[in-house]
Amino acid sequence: MILDGKVARERILEGLAERLHRAGSPNVCLATVLVGDDAPSRTYVGSKHRTAGAIGIQSVGVELSGDTTQERLEDEVRRLVNDVTVHGILVQLPLPDHLDAEAVLRLIPAEKDVDGLTDASLGRLVRSVDGHVGCTPLGVLRLLQHYGIETSGKTAVVIGRSTLVGLPLSILLAQKGIDCTVTLAHSRTRDLVEVCRRADIVVSATGVARSIGAEHVSPGAVVIDVGISRTEKGIVGDVDFDAVLDIASAVTPMPGGTGLMTVACLMENTVNAARMQGVQV
């Protein structure tokens, strides 16, 4: 089975649009902050605004020049934090090298942290408190759920321990109601092949092109590719798709798999952020 992210994404967006419609189309607002002229970042932000508009979420964009000072950037974020009409704030990363991203993220309260990147959001995830999960980890879970892939009692290996994907995803998969037994693997893991072959679900999020091959996958395992590498032949993932296709019971393509889920889950987080801030939705 090919886990097509486009189909799962559209189902999420349709559900959110219907949820907003049933609630009387309340004002729900996502704010983005873009610093500099990085072309991929500008493309990503544009996609987020278009998707928001398509399902009935308002959006505002703050654009700052690449030489913006830390003080100016923090002032803009504070303004959005204090604006009661803004329910979600996303600071597009990476920021230019002279800016301190962690200091900026610390200004965003957990209720408005729709990217799920702050210390407070990660702490809420660890403690199973209502909050926002990072859009990519949440997208992996939603993809599994959309295709009816059983997680309870299954063994999962998450390869990569970044705070953006690997670490929060490992916590998410182990939570009550999802109930995987999770191994978090990384560059120091011994005998990664054997660790992966014992797993029912293998998720790779390292950004090392085609580093997961047939030898890593036991027959019938589910393989989720989160890694992205840009090569002369285009975008490829961590997983050697052709090598594992006839071994795995389900596998994500790259592109066309988990990446498509990220923006949809940002919209889900934004609607939930409005609810957490008192909007009846």
pLDDT band at 230 (very low <50, low <70, confident <90, very high): confident
pLDDT band at 2 (very low <50, low <70, confident <90, very high): very high
The reported pLDDT for the residue numbered 12 is 98
Q: How far is CA 67 from CA 12, 73, 91, 128, 258, in A?
A: 38, 10, 16, 39, 33
Known catalytic membership, residue 175: no
- pLDDT tens across 10-23, in order? 999 999 999 999 99
- pLDDT tens across 164-222, in order? 999 999 999 999 999 999 999 999 999 999 999 999 999 999 999 999 999 999 999 99
Q: For each of the domains in the chain, give its residue range(s) and CATH number, in order of start.
A: 24-115 (3.40.50.10860), 135-260 (3.40.50.720)
> Percentage of the chain surpassing pLDDT 70?
100
The reported pLDDT for the residue numbered 116 is 97
- pLDDT tens across 256-266, in order? 999 999 999 99
Residue 75 scores a pLDDT above 90 = yes
The one catalytic residue in 113, 115, 238, 240 is 115
pLDDT band at 232 (very low <50, low <70, confident <90, very high): confident
Known catalytic membership, residue 145: no
Known catalytic membership, residue 48: yes
Predicted TM-score of the model (pTM)? 0.95
